[in-house]
């Protein structure tokens, strides 16, 4: 995911090479998550590192990054907080790759609050990202996350380019999203997807909507609106490489969609463990 981070024209740079050591987030035990930064250099309101290795302890899921830049161009967020901001992003990436929070991490605080980054606009860029678990790997050439607003709500822009997943044939090669998180410091957040755009083969995926994440899918809620162009072509592109159940699922999804020119549209809802597509309940409940 890429973003212009040539805003780091900071003066009085203190070049202090870092020594790699295992760390974790305040309040998060090493039995849940740990990471190690290598080749760190700090300056006022900025941090760079040549490597990061992180893991969800006991899961065999790892994250490796070969180049990191984290900074607050507004000059408000301290370097130590920027490191935590970067660590939270690493923890989120590992949890997303796993498909949910690991058992050892249930109920753990992420160790960073909205007040820690207000009124700044912290940003992070990662290069040559690799997520791995046995039999499954994902690489990203460049990724970025930018807090463009931190008050009253947290608004983030994330981008990715050069994405490849060994097990997900529909994984977009490019992705960008504009998200707003309300209630960051509360027990119940709402995530608004202001805009999402992705490219997979010859298809473009666009979406918007809201998500209220709960502890499980059955306690979560969602109201999403998604469009995909050239779905028939996309099915043809993956027919010989994707598992049959993926091709079948996409074929069924196409039949449930509404057509608008070359785009297929879906309104997707989740409430009380029941998923609806274009207001039609699916014949199963999610756990």
What are the structural domain ranges in the chain? 1-168, 178-287
Highest mean pLDDT among 27-36, 74-83, 259-268: 259-268
Q: Are 234 and 203 in contact (CB under 8 A)?
A: yes
The pair of three-digit structure tokens given for residue 128, joined into one six-digit string? 């040559």
Phi-psi region of 107 (alpha: psi -120 to 50; beta: other; left: phi over 0): left
> What confidence score (pLDDT) does residue 16 get?
26
Q: d(Cα 84, Cα 116) in Å, to the nearest integer?
A: 10
pTM of the predicted protein model: 0.77
Residue 225 has pLDDT above 90, yes or no: yes
For residue range 112-164, list pLDDT tens digits in order: 667 778 888 999 999 999 999 999 999 999 999 998 988 888 899 999 999 99
Which is higher by pLDDT, 245 or 43? 43
Q: Could you say which DSSP state residue 216 is in? A: S
Which is higher by pLDDT, 77 or 187? 77
> What confidence score (pLDDT) does residue 8 get?
24
Residue matched to tokens 């109920």: 107
Q: What share of the chain is helix, strand, coil (3-state, %, to 5)?
A: 20, 45, 35
């Amino acid at each position: 995911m890429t973003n212009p981070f040539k805003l780091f024209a900071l003066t009085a740079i203190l070049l202090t090479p870092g020594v790699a050591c295992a760390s974790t987030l305040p309040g998060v035990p090493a039995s849940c998550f740990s990471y190690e930064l290598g080749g760190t250099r700090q300056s006022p309101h900025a941090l760079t590192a040549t490597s990061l290795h992180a893991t969800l302890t006991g899961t065999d899921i790892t994250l490796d990054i070969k180049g990191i830049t984290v900074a607050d161009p507004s000059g408000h967020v301290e370097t130590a907080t920027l490191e935590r901001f970067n660590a939270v992003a690493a923890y989120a990436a590992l949890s997303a790759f796993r498909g949910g929070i690991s058992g050892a991490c249930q109920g753990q605080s992420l160790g960073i609050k909205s007040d820690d980054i207000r009124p700044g606009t912290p940003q992070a860029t990662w290069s040559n990202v690799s997520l791995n678990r046995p039999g499954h790997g994902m690489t990203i050439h460049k990724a970025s996350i930018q807090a463009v607003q931190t008050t009253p709500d947290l608004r983030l822009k994330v981008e990715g380019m050069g994405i490849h997943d060994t097990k997900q044939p529909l994984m977009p090669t490019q992705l960008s999203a504009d998200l707003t998180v309300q209630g960051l410091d509360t027990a119940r957040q709402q995530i608004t997807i202001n805009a999402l755009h992705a490219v997979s083969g010859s298809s473009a995926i666009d979406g918007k909507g809201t998500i209220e994440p709960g502890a499980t899918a059955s306690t979560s809620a969602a109201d999403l609106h998604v469009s995909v162009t050239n779905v028939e072509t996309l099915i043809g592109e993956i027919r010989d490489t994707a598992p049959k159940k993926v091709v079948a699922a996409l074929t069924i999804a196409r039949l449930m969609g509404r057509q608008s020119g070359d785009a297929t549209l879906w309104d997707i809802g989740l409430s009380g463990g029941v998923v609806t597509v274009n207001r039609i309940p699916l014949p199963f409940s999610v756990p």
